[in-house]
């Protein structure tokens, strides 16, 4: 049987791949695995039940899926605090804030509305390790505990969920945002109710787009994967910065006053330098994936900041951060993790701290972003090839070595198999676009011929 959990929970087309029955069963299995920990047993010793936080983004299928998850948890003896529509990082924060035993977030992040997903967080608001996900999958095929009478769980509204999260975000800020005009793109998603409020409370002048979720328009031409409208709005309103979230608000990308994109690497560079100056960057170290731009590494070297590189995926960034107790890490896509304040990527938190740095220094977003030179980076996906062959083919290895020799210290080559599709990703960075294009397609052609299946 193929593994149910992917790199970020269980995802699929809602009501086809991800059904109400699957959601209910997954919740029951989760209750068995995560509802048996020390904190849950301590509650039972006091005559109480385990507690879980439940939340979702505004896509329409989240309504029936959250009902199924709530039913599965309650029928397994877990009390459910339903926070309604809030960002994924808000759900993670609330789990830790109220010391819940675990939590469930229903969202497909930046995917289109017909998709949905179920993300499960352990006690403390942390993502589950693979071994725990495997145990949950195993319990899907086993009889689950079915309490009766007073032992069944209760489902209650988490009434002050949003207020708790807003106060947490405001309390994290090193500097207010007075005088900063921000355009927020909420992706018609989970940030719609929180992000405008917290930016306004922090002192910013706020203009909002992508803030009218109807259940089907989430991520539709807006948000962190579609920055054109944000850039247009920033120019139209003469704003200082534009900040874009994705559907569940765990990402943040930005555009400066000229409409130029500031990606996750640049945001990390800005925050890393600021945190080092303020003594908040643990061991003066930043954690990023192998896909981060070469310019990030060079900028960090110039500022005396070390880097730890991980595989692609925020879970691997989190693992490295936890292992070294590091304060900052993330991905080029805008997943930025500030471990002092969050256990996962938090797009609203990231955007607040980016704007706060503008207010603190008096610099424009473009001036802050200039800390890093973005090298041209070309990614070519070669489909229907033997993914594992990249480690074995000597002809391909020779071509890669020749490209690396030509680039020297001014670029790099990265070949990696996709974790979800039958394809190989060829990434080349170089000092100029022409060289990057030429070498990337040259290597991709060799992959296509040598690793054909």
Question: Domain range for residue 394?
Answer: 377-450
Binding site residues, as ranges?
109, 246, 248, 250
Q: pLDDT by residue for the chain (453 residues), tens digit each? A: 568 998 789 999 999 999 999 999 999 999 999 987 666 667 666 778 999 999 999 999 999 999 999 999 999 999 999 999 999 999 999 999 999 999 999 999 999 999 999 999 999 999 998 899 999 999 998 877 789 999 999 999 999 999 999 999 999 999 999 999 999 999 999 999 999 999 999 999 999 999 999 999 999 999 999 999 999 999 999 999 999 999 999 999 999 999 999 999 999 999 999 999 999 999 999 999 998 999 999 999 999 999 999 988 888 999 999 999 999 999 999 999 999 999 999 999 999 999 999 999 999 999 999 999 999 989 999 998 988 888 899 999 999 999 999 999 889 999 988 766 778 999 999 989 999 999 999 999 999 999 988
Q: Is 387 part of any domain? A: yes
Token code pair at residue 366:
């473009």
Indicate whether 398 and 263 sit together in one domain.
Answer: no
* Catalytic position from the list 61, 75, 109, 224: 109
Q: Is 267 part of any domain? A: yes
Mark whether 109 is an active-site residue. yes
Binding site residues for Mg(2+), as ranges?
109, 246, 248, 250
Global pTM reads 0.91
Indicate whether 316 and 192 sit together in one domain.
Answer: yes
Q: Is 225 part of any domain? A: yes
Cα dist. 273→24, 124, 270, 277 in Å? 46, 28, 6, 6
Last residue of a domain, one of 348, 369, 390: 369
Radius of gyration of the chain, Cα coordinates, nearest whole angstrom: 23
Indicate whether 273 and 316 sit together in one domain.
Answer: yes
H or E segment to which residue 185 belongs: strand 181-185
Quote the pLDDT of residue 390: 87
- Compute the Cα dihedral for 113, 117, 120, 125 and give only its sign: negative
Indicate whether 353 and 422 sit together in one domain.
Answer: no
Quote the pLDDT of residue 37: 64
Q: Are strands 181-185 and 241-244 parallel, antiparallel or unpaired?
A: parallel
H or E segment to which residue 118 belongs: strand 115-122
CATH of the domain at 336: 3.40.120.10
Indicate whether 311 and 329 sit together in one domain.
Answer: yes
Indicate whether 202 and 318 sit together in one domain.
Answer: yes
Please state the domain count of the chain: 3
Q: Is 236 part of any domain? A: yes
Q: Is 5 part of any domain? A: no
Indicate whether 313 and 350 sit together in one domain.
Answer: yes
Neighbours of 116 (CB within 10 A): 29
CATH of the domain at 426: 3.30.310.50
Indicate whether 123 and 218 sit together in one domain.
Answer: no
Indicate whether 140 and 238 sit together in one domain.
Answer: no
Q: Could you tell me what percentage of the chain is helix, strand and coil, using 3-state DSSP and rounding each to the nearest 5?
A: 40, 20, 35
CA distance 158 to 82: 5
Indicate whether 88 and 215 sit together in one domain.
Answer: no
Quote the pLDDT of residue 445: 94
Within 298-434, strands assigned E span 306-310, 328-330, 336-338, 377-383, 412-417, 423-429
């Amino acid at each position: 049987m193929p593994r149910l959990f992917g790199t970020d929970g269980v995802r699929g087309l809602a009501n086809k791949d991800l059904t109400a029955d699957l959601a209910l069963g997954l919740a029951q299995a989760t209750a068995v695995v995560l509802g048996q920990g020390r904190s849950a047993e301590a509650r039972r010793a006091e005559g109480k039940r385990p507690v879980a936080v439940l939340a979702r983004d505004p896509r329409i299928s989240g309504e029936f899926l959250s009902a199924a998850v709530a039913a599965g948890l309650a029928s397994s003896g877990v009390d459910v605090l339903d926070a309604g529509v809030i960002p994924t990082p808000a759900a993670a924060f609330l789990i830790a804030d109220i010391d819940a035993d675990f939590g469930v977030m229903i969202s497909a992040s930046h995917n289109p509305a017909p998709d949905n997903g179920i993300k499960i967080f352990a006690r403390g608001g942390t993502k589950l390790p693979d071994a725990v996900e495997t145990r949950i999958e195993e319990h899907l095929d086993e009889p689950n505990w079915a309490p009766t009478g007073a032992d069944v769980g209760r489902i209650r509204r988490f009434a002050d969920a949003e207020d708790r999260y807003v106060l947490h975000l405001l309390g994290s800020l090193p500097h207010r945002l007075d005088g900063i005009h921000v355009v927020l793109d909420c992706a018609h998603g989970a940030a719609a109710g929180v992000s405008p409020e917290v930016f306004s409370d922090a002192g910013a002048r706020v203009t909002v787009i992508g803030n009218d979720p109807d259940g089907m328009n989430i991520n539709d031409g807006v948000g962190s994967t579609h920055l054109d409208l944000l850039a247009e709005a920033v120019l139209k309103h003469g704003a200082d910065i534009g900040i874009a979230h994705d559907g569940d608000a765990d990402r943040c990308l930005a555009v400066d006053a000229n409409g130029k994109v500031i990606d996750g690497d640049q945001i990390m560079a800005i925050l890393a330098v600021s945190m080092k100056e303020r003594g908040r960057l643990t061991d003066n170290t930043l954690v990023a994936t192998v896909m981060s731009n070469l310019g990030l590494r060079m900028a960090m070297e110039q500022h005396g900041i070390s880097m730890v590189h991980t595989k692609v995926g925020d879970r691997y960034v989190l693992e490295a951060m936890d292992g070294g107790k590091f304060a900052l890490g993330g991905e080029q896509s805008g997943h930025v993790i500030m471990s002092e304040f969050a256990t996962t990527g938090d797009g609203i938190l990231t955007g607040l701290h980016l704007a706060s740095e503008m207010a603190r220094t008096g610099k424009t977003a473009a001036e802050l972003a200039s800390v890093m030179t973005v090298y041209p980076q070309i990614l070519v996906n070669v489909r229907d090839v033997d993914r594992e062959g990249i480690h074995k083919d000597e002809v391909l290895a020779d071509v890669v070595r020749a490209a690396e020799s030509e680039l020297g210290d001014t670029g790099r080559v990265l070949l990696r198999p996709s974790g979800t599709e039958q394809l190989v990703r060829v990434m080349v960075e170089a000092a100029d676009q022409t060289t990057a294009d030429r070498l990337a397609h040259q290597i991709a052609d060799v992959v296509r011929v040598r690793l054909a299946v």
